[in-house]
Amino acid sequence: MIIQPKTRGFICTTAHPEGCARQVQQQIDYVKAHKKLSGPVNVLVVGASTGYGLASRITAAFGAGANTIGVFFDKPAEGARTASAGWYNSAALEKAAAEQGLKSFSIVGDAFSDSIKTKTIDLIKAEFGTVDLVVYSVASPRRTHPVTGETFSSVIKPVGNAYTNKTMNFHSGEVSTVTIEPATEDEVRQTIAVMGGEDWGMWIDQLQAAGALAEGATTVAYSYIGPEVTHPIYKDGTIGQAKNDLEKTAIALNEKLSATNGRAFVSVNKALVTQSSSAIPVVPLYISALYRVMKDKELHENCIQQMYRLFAEHLYNSDAGSSHLIRIDDWEMREDVQAEVMKRWSEIETANVPVLADLPGYQDDFFNLFGFRTEGVDYEADTDPAVDIPNLV
């Protein structure tokens, strides 16, 4: 069939297998063109099929030659419906890993469930013995608690007061004003339950209890802080409360892992276009302005550049500090970058978006997420949407 993008707001309901495969190959080429990393050896990535998790898995496998297991929640193609992008990305990654002679396995299912944790731990024990790095990169709108059975939904809302600011429809470039009412106490509780640290802690506890963590194992989860202008909707909002909980979990996990010389980190990453970030009001306009400024200053990075830097300069650099909080948002937060973005923010409106922001860059990144607008792909060609993931367990 001919596969074209079909968007509904910030969602694209189709994905292109060849485009996704090429995007994955570009990330692989990026890490292979850089210095080989000194670790890790055996890696588990939870939330491994798109965005920061995919880039982490690629960095580990092709930057360090690590064996990897990726856990993710994606759907295969069915009839005329394409698979989700993460499915195609993982199929391409598995193929490339096999060609490289790496041990590599994919598990599709709900990472929040006990059954997927058990399945993953059994696989680690059978194939790797132990893992020495666990990356936790799940971003989800919902979670069902494995013990109580309660299903929580996360919301992106301010806490305390309503928040009004500029926002943008990134398809049309139209800038408007949006007001978001504050979350209720229960919405805060549910967002923490989905995006906070409880599930990360459960993974590490169960891996440790099963003897599936190597001596000196490292674990890392991802967070975002961002500039003051987005604080009410991010850092001080419901999602920020969840990220505070993630940080508390890192401190607790550090304690638990210290007995075996292990370490737990939260890495604060740069704002980038992913399926998760495009759903947050205000943020796409901020990212478009940020992209323009960072590209002009030759400081722009995508997920793969961020993850390579995380591994090379922090996780596998013996000179790195020991703080549980890693800042690879340092270039985004540089004073000159933020001063320029904020100057543009105060002036930005629909008419000057093409000058003050990088809307085409945002749009390209958005469509790239689903394998579209990728150089070298013939989007008019008849394409089979049914793709198998090799080594799917």
Binding stretches for ligand NAD (CB under 6 A) = 47-53, 71-74, 86, 110-112, 137-140, 222-224, 269, 271-272, 274-277
Tell me how many degrees the CA angle 167-276-191 measures, rounded to the nearest 5. Answer: 95
List C-alpha distances in Å: 57 to 27, 30, 43, 309. Answer: 10, 13, 8, 14
Please indicate if the annotation marks 52 as binding a ligand: yes
Among 84, 101, 106, which Cα is nearest to 20's? 84
Within 10 A of 379 (CB to CB), how many other CB atoms are there?
Answer: 16
Please indicate if the annotation marks 50 as binding a ligand: yes
C-beta of residue 369 within 8 angstroms of C-beta of residue 85: yes
What is the distance between the alpha carbons of residues 205 and 132, in angstroms, rounded to a whole number?
14
Please indicate if the annotation marks 274 as binding a ligand: yes
What is the distance between the alpha carbons of residues 13 and 4, in angstroms, rounded to a whole number?
10
> Which residues on neighbouring strands pair with residue 153, listed in sequence order?
142
List C-alpha distances in Å: 369 to 39, 40, 293. Answer: 28, 27, 22
Return the SS3 of 42.
Answer: strand
Shortest CB 318 distance to ligand NAD, Å: 25
Q: Respond yes or no on whether the N-terminal peptide bond of residue 5 is cis (omega within 30° of 0).
A: no
Please indicate if the annotation marks 201 as binding a ligand: no
CB closer to ligand NAD out of 129 and 341:
341
CB closer to ligand NAD out of 52 and 345:
52
163 is catalytic: no
Residue 233, token pair as written in the block: 């909707």
Please indicate if the annotation marks 111 as binding a ligand: yes
CB-closest chain residue to ligand NAD: 51
CB closer to ligand NAD out of 37 and 280:
280
Please indicate if the annotation marks 325 as binding a ligand: no
C-beta of residue 93 within 8 angstroms of C-beta of residue 58: yes
What is the distance between the alpha carbons of residues 56 and 89, in angstroms, rounded to a whole number?
13
C-beta of residue 382 within 8 angstroms of C-beta of residue 97: no
CB closer to ligand NAD out of 169 and 302:
302
Shortest CB 243 distance to ligand NAD, Å: 7
Please indicate if the annotation marks 51 as binding a ligand: yes
What is the distance between the alpha carbons of residues 167 and 286, in angstroms, rounded to a whole number?
8
CB closer to ligand NAD out of 205 and 349:
205
Shortest CB 187 distance to ligand NAD, Å: 17
Please indicate if the annotation marks 47 as binding a ligand: yes
Shortest CB 225 distance to ligand NAD, Å: 8
Return the SS3 of 27.
Answer: helix
Length of the chain: 393
Active-site residue, selected from the candidate residues 222, 234, 286, 291? 234
What is the distance between the alpha carbons of residues 345 and 70, in angstroms, rounded to a whole number?
38
CB closer to ligand NAD out of 104 and 137:
137
Shortest CB 223 distance to ligand NAD, Å: 6
Known binding positions for NAD(+): 47-52, 110-111, 138-139, 243, 272-274
Question: Which of the residues are catalytic?
Answer: 234
Q: Which residues are annotated as a binding site for substrate?
A: 224
